[in-house]
Chains A and B, each alone.
Chain A
Amino acid sequence: MKLIVNDREYEVDADPEMPLVWALRDLVGLTGTKFGCGAAQCGACTVHVDGQPIRSCVTPVSAVAGQKVVTIEGLTGKVAEAVTKAWTALDVPQCGYCQSGQVMAAVALLTATPKPSDADIDAAMDGNLCRCATYQRIRAGIHQASQTLEG
C-alpha cells in the first residue's frame, strides 16, 4: 500500500484496517502524532489529509492511500510557523503530549479562517483534550498567531 506522508511516498505492508496512527508511528516511524484514546475522543492523533484535520486513530490506513497526509513533522508554511512561534512564546505546553494534535487543529483552523472569533476557536478546538488544561493558553496562542499572520 502506498502512503504519501509529508510529500514523501512510503510503501507499507499494512492490514487495510490498521488505523493510520499506527501506520504513521510504527511503520513509517513518525512518532510526533500521538495515540491518546483510539476512539476519536481526544484529538491527540490529529493529522491533515488533503488539508483537513482528521483523527488518525479511527481512520483506516486504506482510506487515505494515495492521499496527501501531513503530520506535525511535515508542517510548513507561514501559518505553521506563526502557531509554533506563538506556542513557544506563551509557553502553551505543559506535558505536551496533546500538543501535536492541538497544533494540527490550530493550523487547520487558521488556514481556513485567518481571523477566527472565539466561537470559531471553540468549534475547531473542542475535540482536542488537554489533561493539563492548557486551554486558556491555546486560545491565546491562536489569537496571537492570527495577529502575526495579519501583520
Chain B
Amino acid sequence: MRFLAPKPSPQLSPALSRRRFLVLSGVAGAGLTLGLPIASAKAQPAASAAQTPFAAYLRVAPDNSVTVLSAHMDMGQGIYSGLATLVAEELGADPAQLRVEGAAGNPKLYGNLAWGGAVQGTGGSTAIASSFERYRRAGATARAMLVQAAANEWKVPASEITVERGVLTHRSGRRATFGELAERAAALPVPADVPLRDPKDWTLIGSESVRRVDSADKSTGRQTYTIDVKLPGLLTAVVAHPPRFGGSVRSFDATAAKAVKGVVEVVQISRGVAVIAEHTWAAIKGREALKVEWNLDTAEARGTAELMEEFKRLAAQPPTAVAARRGDADKALAGAAKVVEATYEFPYLAHAALEPMDAVARKDGDVLEVWGGHQMPDLYQAKAAAIAGVSPDKVRLHVMMTGGSFGRRATPDADVIVEAVECAKAIGWRAPVKVLWTREDDMQGGRYRPMYLHTVKAGLDAAGNPVAWKHRIVGQSILANSPFAAMVKDGIDPTSVEGVSDSPYAVPNLTAELTTVAAGVPVLWWRSVGHTHTAYAMETMIDQLATAAGRDPVEFRRALLTDHPRHRRVLDLAAEKAGWGQPLAAGRFRGVAVHESFATVVAEVAEIAMDDRGGFRVERVVCAVDCGVAVNPDQIRAQMEGGIGFGLGAILHSRITLTGGEVDQSNFDGYEVLRFTEMPRVEVHVVPSAEPPTGVGEPGVPPIGPAVANALAAAGRTARILPLSRGAQT
C-alpha cells in the first residue's frame, strides 16, 4: 500500500508545527524527554521543566527504553499501541523497546486537538486524529537530537548517520543505542520543524507486523487496572446509593455495619453512605448490614413504560426544535406516490464494562493522588481538587488501563472519582481509599444511553425515488445540564439527532425534528452516541423505501449517495466481499447498512440464518471501513470486530427498564450482552486511503443493528422495538 502525503488535517492546530519541542531534562539520568513548550522553548528554563515531570510525550532512558506518554486513555481501543507506532516510526525505534503510560494534568500538552485543544479527553473516536501529528513530531525531534549527539560524539556529519530499530550507525562502523546517547542528546538544543518521514517510507504505520504493546501483559494477568492498585494501608469502600435516581440520604444507622469484622468506618458522602473496610468482602458485608433511610421526595418515580407512553404522547405534538430542514417535507409527502412510515423504540442501555466503576484516592501532605479511568482528566482534577481544598496542580492523576468504558468513564460529574476522594477525606486522609462498585451498583448506577422514540415518514415519487423524509425524535438530552450544555444550540442537542440531521442521502425534502424530554434517569454517551439509534432508524427506513420502490437496497443507496464517494466505496466493497446478489442457501438472508460516524464511514452486510422456530442467528458479517490512513490495520479490524459484537449484543438482548423509578436489571442475567456462541464470523476490509486518519473505536457499532434488521426484513420480519429479544413484532 502506498500512501501519499496526508493533507494537513483541519483538526490539527496550525500552530503546532511552528512550536518547538522542549527538552525536559531536569531529572538527573532521566535521559531525553520531549514535550511541547507552553510559550517559548528558548525561554523555558530547565528548572520549570523539572516541576512538570509529566509534561512530555516521550522519554528515552539510559536503559534504552522508550516511554510514550499518552494524551489519551486506553480502555481497550488500542491507542497506546497506535501512539507507540507513530513514535517508533519517526524515531526509528524497535517497537519492542517501546512502552506507554497514560499522562494527564496539562491540557496545554495533552489537550484533545480534535476538540480544539483546550481540554484533555478521550472520546468521539478522536485520539488518532488528535495525535497523529504531534506524536510523530515528538519522535522525529527525538531522533534528530539522538543523531546530532552521535554526530558530535563521532565527529561525523549527521547526514551520514542512519537509524534503524533503535540503533544509530555510521559507515565507519561506529554504532550506539538510543540509551547510550540519551543523556548527551538531552543536553542539545531542540531543533525546530524537524521534517516528518515521507509516507512512502513508512515501515510501521500501516504495517501488519506491528502488534499491540499490551497483549502479553493482558494474556498473563500482569496488566494492572484501577481495581488492582495496591498501596500501603489501602482501604476499600462500597457505597450504598439511593434506590431511585435523585434520592438522597435522610439518615442511617451504622451499628450493625460497624459490627462486621473488617469494617473500619461508615461515612455519609454526597452520593450516599460509604462502608469503608480493610478489604472488599468486609465492605460488601458491612453494606448489607447497613440501614439507610432515603429521602425520595424528589426522586424519579416513573418507570420506563410510563416514560415511553409520555414519549408517544409528545411525538404526536409539535416538536421542541427543528434540527434540519431542507425543502418542504410535508408538501412532498402529500404529493408522494407512496408513503412508508415506521415508529421505533430504543431502550436505555448500560455500558456494563467488565471492570466495574472504581477509583482510588490518597492525600499525602498537600498532594492528592487519584488512580482511575481518567477519560476526562481536567474535569476530574478540578472536582478532586475542590473536594480536597487544594489547587488543581496539586492533584496527580494516575491514568490507569481501564477494563472497558464504552463512554462510561467519561462522566462529567466524575461520580466514582468524587466518591473515592470524599471517602478518603471523610476519614481525615489517614489512609488511601479505593471505591469499588459491585456489578449491581454499576448496572443500576445510571448514565445510560438514553431511551428514544423515533417516528419516520418517507415518500417516493412515481419513479420510485425518495422525495420526502420527515423524522421526529423524542428523548432525553445527554449534553443538557452537563459542562457541555453550551453545545446545545436552539434547543438541539446534536447527540440526539446526529446521523439524521446530517444524513448523506440525497432526499430533496427533509425535516428532522426533536422533542427533548426531561427525566430523572441520568444519561450519557454510549459507544457511538446518537448514531446508536439514528443509524438504525435511517438505515432500516432506507431499506423499506427500496423495497417499496422495488429496487435493490445497495443500488438504491448508491443512487442517493452520488456526492458521497466514501460511502459508495465502502458500500461497494462490503457488497462485493459479501457476495451481495448471489443466491443464498434456504433460510439465509442478507441485510446491508452504511453509516458515517466520527468522520469514519462503515458498511456492513449481515447474513442471518432463520431457524424453524422463528429464531435466527447472525452467521456472518462483512465490514468495509474507510478511516483514512490505516495506522494499525489489524487494530482497525479488531475495533470493527468488537464494535460489531458490542452493537449486536445490544440489539439482540440489552435493555435497562425501570419500574416505579427503580432499575429492574442488576447483573448479566437480567441485562444480557453478546456471548461467545452468538459471535458471527466477521471479515473486515480496510479501504486504502492517504487521507488524514479518523477514529475506529465507535464507527463499527452503528451499522450492525440495521444490517441485521434489514436481513430480518428480507425474511419477512420487522424489527422496530429494541431489543429484538422482546419477541414477535409487527
Chain A residues within CB distance 8 Å of chain B = 14-15, 18-19, 22-23, 25-27, 29, 31-39, 41-42, 44, 71-73, 75, 83-84, 87-89, 91-100, 103, 122, 125-126, 128-139
Contact = CB atoms under 8 A, between A and B. Distances in A.
Nearest to A96: B218
Given A37-B667, A133-B648, 4 more contacts: A39-B667, A94-B76, A129-B354, A133-B646
10 contacts: A29-B230, A34-B227, A36-B355, A37-B439, A91-B634, A92-B215, A95-B403, A122-B677, A130-B354, A131-B352
Instruction: Pick from B219, B401, B438, B669 the residue with the most CB of A within 10 Å.
Output: B219
A99 B353 CA distance: 13
Given A34-B354, A91-B215, A131-B646, A96 B675 contact: no
A96 B220 CA distance: 10
Contacts of B261: 15
A6 to B, nearest CB: 11
Instruction: Pick from A23, A87, A97 the residue with the most CB of B within 10 Å.
Output: A97
Nearest to B635: A91
Nearest to A134: B642
B676 A135 contact: yes
Contact of B439 (A39, A83, A130, A138): A39
A25 B434 CA distance: 14
A57 B236 CA distance: 17
A26 B280 contact: yes
A95 B221 contact: no
B641 interface: yes
A26 B279 contact: yes
Contacts of A133: 641-646, 648-649, 674, 679
B221 A71 contact: yes
Contacts of B649: 133
Complex A-B, nearest 4 residue pairs according to Cβ-Cβ distance, in ascending order? A133-B645, A32-B221, A97-B403, A95-B76
Contact of A39 (B285, B356, B634, B669): B669
Contacts of B236: 26
Instruction: Pick from A19, A22, A73 the residue with the most CB of B within 10 Å.
Output: A22
Interface string B198-216: 0000000000000110111
Interface of B: 75-78, 211-212, 214-225, 227-228, 230, 236, 261, 279-282, 285, 352-356, 401-404, 406, 436, 438-440, 634-635, 638, 641-646, 648-649, 667-669, 673-677, 679, 681-682
A122 B402 contact: no
Nearest to B262: A15
A128 B679 CA distance: 13
Given A131-B352, A133-B679, A97 B439 contact: no
Contacts of A83: 219
Given A33-B221, A84-B220, A132-B404, A97 B215 contact: no
A22 B280 contact: yes
B707 to A, nearest CB: 16
Contacts of B279: 22, 26-27
Contacts of B401: 95-96
A91 to B, nearest CB: 5
Nearest to A73: B221
A8 to B, nearest CB: 16
Contacts of B75: 95
A93 B215 contact: yes
Contacts of B438: 38
A24 to B, nearest CB: 11
A147 to B, nearest CB: 17
B214 A125 contact: no
A131 B230 contact: no
Say whether chain A's binding surface is mostly helix, strand, loop, or mixed.
loop
Contacts of B648: 133
Nearest to A103: B219
Contacts of B675: 126, 129
Nearest to B679: A135
B49 to A, nearest CB: 34
A97 B77 CA distance: 13
B682 A95 contact: no
B281 A91 contact: no
A95 B527 CA distance: 14
A142 B46 CA distance: 52
B557 to A, nearest CB: 26
B76 A126 contact: no
Contacts of A128: 676
Contacts of B211: 88-89, 91
A91 B227 contact: no
A34 B225 CA distance: 10
Contacts of B634: 91
A36 B682 CA distance: 26
A29 B669 CA distance: 29
Contact of B677 (A71, A100, A126): A126
A97 B354 contact: yes
Nearest to A105: B676
Instruction: Pick from A19, A31, A95 the residue with the most CB of B within 10 Å.
Output: A95
Given A42-B668, A135-B676, A34 B355 contact: yes
A94 B642 contact: yes
Contacts of A125: 676
B679 A136 contact: yes
Contact of A34 (B212, B403, B646): B403
Instruction: Pick from A15, A19, A72 the residue with the most CB of B within 10 Å.
Output: A15
A84 B220 CA distance: 7
Nearest to B674: A133
Contacts of B280: 22, 25-26, 35
Contacts of A96: 76, 214, 217-219, 223, 401, 403
Instruction: Pick from B281, B355, B677 the residue with the most CB of A within 10 Å.
Output: B281
Contact of A31 (B215, B220, B230, B440): B230
B550 to A, nearest CB: 36
Contact of B638 (A39, A89, A137, A138): A137
A138 B641 CA distance: 12
Contact of B219 (A22, A27, A34, A88): A88
A133 B654 CA distance: 15
Contact of B281 (A22, A94, A132): A22
B676 A138 contact: yes
B221 A41 contact: no
A97 B215 CA distance: 11
B212 A41 contact: no
A136 B78 CA distance: 17
B99 to A, nearest CB: 15
Contacts of B218: 87, 93, 96, 99
Instruction: Pick from A15, A42, A100, A133 the residue with the most CB of B within 10 Å.
Output: A133
Contacts of B646: 131-133
A94 B77 contact: yes
A18 B236 CA distance: 15
Contacts of A22: 279-281
Contact of A129 (B77, B212, B673): B673
B667 A95 contact: no
A131 B215 contact: no
A37 to B, nearest CB: 4
Contact of A136 (B76, B230, B406, B641): B641
Contact of B669 (A14, A26, A41, A84): A41
Contacts of B352: 131
A99 to B, nearest CB: 5
A25 B211 CA distance: 30
A86 B558 CA distance: 41
Contacts of A132: 76, 404, 642, 645-646
